[in-house]
């Protein structure tokens, strides 16, 4: 049953009216007293660094909890999501001119992990509704140099894992998942992180599964675990049991410092205990918001395929600027004036970023440009129409609705519907003042 709210035609706050009121989210992240006590105990004991499971058994405990959550895969806890993704690439031996097909519409760490391996990102377009990589664009981008697909479960939305796995298997290439924003998301009953040859997750304080700063890699392949450990763990975690003998001659301290701290591993363990309950609340509140906005004309929530269960790290909308007769930025300015924080999460397609353009780059030196030049890749002016459309039309909002807060969901909807009801006034405002100068970007 629809619970659509009646739009309010009162004067917009942007134009001098009274704002609806600030939308406040539940406190997030939260930690149980048990988690806080365990973290404090790490400090009391002086357990401030972790060289491996033998050195700090709590690392093994956390990796065991994560493994169980991800179908009993091998787990490498790391210092960040980027560290997890680069460990995944290194574990799969992807580097040195290898091509990785991926999305141009994401946070930069999804791509910098490829660049830091001196591998070559190959960008394909996304689906307009969700911003997720479009499986139908992938096969035409595969070349003899392609070694992997790196799919990002953006905003907590699960990519089409079955289709991506089928493409990877057909062409005998690897599939890597970036689940940094999508802990617990599912596609047709399959949990993200359980399909790829490796997956990386971020657990920094703003993510669905939040610590202070941490991450983890999961993989079904034991050797990928050990090779991933060799790039960023103290002596490749060789003091732990199980390292293959043929890898031992190559152990040394030429590593990135990607170790996880004992402080964060106990938080990882405890945070997983309440993850599913928090995901249930996020999804319940998302369904409620969708119901409230059933009559919205211009700002739309994505329509997900049956069986798709996002984790709603952010709530992503698309704005129909043609129908509204105003730009997304003007609409967003009106939303924010009423009390609802919003942003355009992706400021531009990554292929446009100057630090990828070796042909005319004049900035500080970066290590990946020589690999891009050697590959003769030219990212300038790539078409990517759907990704570019989303840069101008997508709008994201924080959605850490992990505790009952129906009133604030109703306020979100009230603000959106109020702004839509006053779109004529916004058209006049935009004609007079011009489009809003900026949208707050994360």
pLDDT in tens, 356-411: 999 999 999 999 999 999 999 999 999 999 999 999 999 999 999 999 999 999 99
- For residue 441, is pLDDT > 60? no
Q: What does the H/E/C string look like for 251-317?
A: CCCCCCCCCCCHHHHHHHHHHHCCHHHHHHHHHHHHHHHHHHCCCCCCEECCCCCCCEECCCCEEEE
pLDDT in tens, 124-158: 999 999 999 999 999 999 999 999 999 999 999 99
Selected residue with higher pLDDT from 306 and 420: 420
pLDDT at 3: 58
Please tell me the distance from the alpha carbon of residue 297 to that of residue 198, in angstroms, as a whole number.
41
Give me the domains of the chain, ranges plus CATH numbers: 13-28+275-347+385-433 (3.90.1150.10), 33-273 (3.40.640.10)
Model pTM greater than 0.85?
Answer: yes
pLDDT in tens, 1-51: 445 565 556 899 999 999 999 999 999 999 999 999 999 999 999 999 999
pLDDT in tens, 331-341: 999 999 999 99
Please tell me the distance from the alpha carbon of residue 219 to that of residue 200, in angstroms, as a whole number.
9
DSSP code for 10: S
pLDDT at 305: 86
Sheet holding 308-309, edge to edge: 190-191, 186-187, 308-309
pLDDT at 81: 98
Arithmetic mean of pLDDT, 93-115: 98
pLDDT in tens, 309-324: 999 999 999 999 999 9
pLDDT in tens, 179-220: 999 999 999 999 999 999 999 999 999 999 999 999 999 999
pLDDT at 438: 45
Dihedral of the CA atoms 177, 178, 184, 187 (nearest 10)?
Answer: -50
Please tell me the distance from the alpha carbon of residue 365 to that of residue 362, in angstroms, as a whole number.
8
Please tell me the distance from the alpha carbon of residue 59 to that of residue 105, in angstroms, as a whole number.
33
pLDDT-derived band at 442 (thresholds 50, 70, 90) equals very low
Q: Which two tokens stand for residue 43?
A: 């400090």
pLDDT in tens, 251-290: 999 999 999 999 999 999 999 999 999 999 999 999 999 9
Selected residue with higher pLDDT from 328 and 440: 328
- For residue 440, is pLDDT > 60? no
């Amino acid at each position: 049953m629809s619970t659509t709210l009646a739009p309010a035609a009162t004067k917009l706050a942007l134009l001098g009216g009274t704002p609806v009121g600030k939308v406040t989210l539940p406190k997030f992240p939260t930690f149980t007293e048990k988690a806080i006590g365990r973290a404090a105990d790490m400090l009391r004991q002086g357990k401030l660094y972790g060289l491996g499971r033998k050195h700090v058994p709590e690392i093994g405990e956390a990796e065991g909890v994560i493994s169980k959550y991800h179908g009993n895969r091998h787990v490498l806890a790391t210092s960040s999501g980027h560290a997890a993704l680069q460990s995944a690439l290194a574990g799969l031996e992807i580097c040195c001119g290898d091509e990785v097909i991926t999305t141009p519409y994401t946070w930069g760490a999804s791509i910098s992990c490829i660049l830091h391996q001196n591998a070559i990102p190959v960008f394909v377009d996304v689906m307009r509704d969700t911003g997720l990589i479009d499986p139908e664009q992938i096969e035409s981008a595969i070349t003899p140099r392609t070694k992997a697909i790196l799919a990002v479960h953006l905003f907590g939305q699960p990519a089409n894992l079955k289709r991506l796995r089928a493409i990877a298997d057909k062409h005998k290439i690897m599939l890597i998942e970036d689940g940094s924003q999508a802990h617990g998301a599912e596609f047709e009953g399959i949990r993200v992180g359980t399909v790829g040859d490796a997956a990386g997750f971020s657990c920094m304080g703003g993510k669905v599964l939040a610590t202070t700063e941490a991450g983890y890699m999961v993989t079904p392949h034991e050797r990928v675990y050990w090779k991933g450990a060799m790039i960023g763990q103290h002596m490749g975690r060789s003091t732990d049991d199980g390292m293959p003998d043929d890898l031992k001659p190559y152990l040394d301290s030429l590593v990135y410092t990607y170790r996880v701290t004992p402080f964060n591993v106990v938080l990882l363990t405890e945070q997983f205990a309440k993850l599913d309950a928090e995901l249930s609340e996020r999804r319940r509140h998302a369904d409620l918001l969708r119901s409230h906005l059933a009559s919205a004309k211009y700002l739309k929530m994505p329509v997900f395929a049956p069986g798709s269960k996002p984790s709603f790290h952010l709530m992503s909308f698309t704005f129909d600027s043609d129908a509204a007769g105003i730009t997304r930025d003007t609409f967003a300015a009106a939303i924010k004036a009423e009390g609802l924080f919003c942003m355009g999460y992706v400021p531009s397609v990554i292929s446009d970023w100057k630090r990828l353009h070796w042909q005319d780059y004049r900035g500080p030196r970066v290590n990946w440009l020589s690999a891009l030049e050697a590959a003769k890749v030219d990212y300038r002016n790539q078409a990517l129409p759907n990704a570019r459309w989303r840069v101008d039309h997508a709008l994201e909002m924080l959605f850490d609705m992990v505790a009952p807060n129906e009133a604030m969901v109703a306020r979100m909807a009230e603000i959106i519907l109020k702004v839509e009801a006053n779109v004529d006034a916004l058209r006049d405002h935009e004609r007079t003042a011009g489009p809003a100068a900026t949208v707050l970007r994360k």
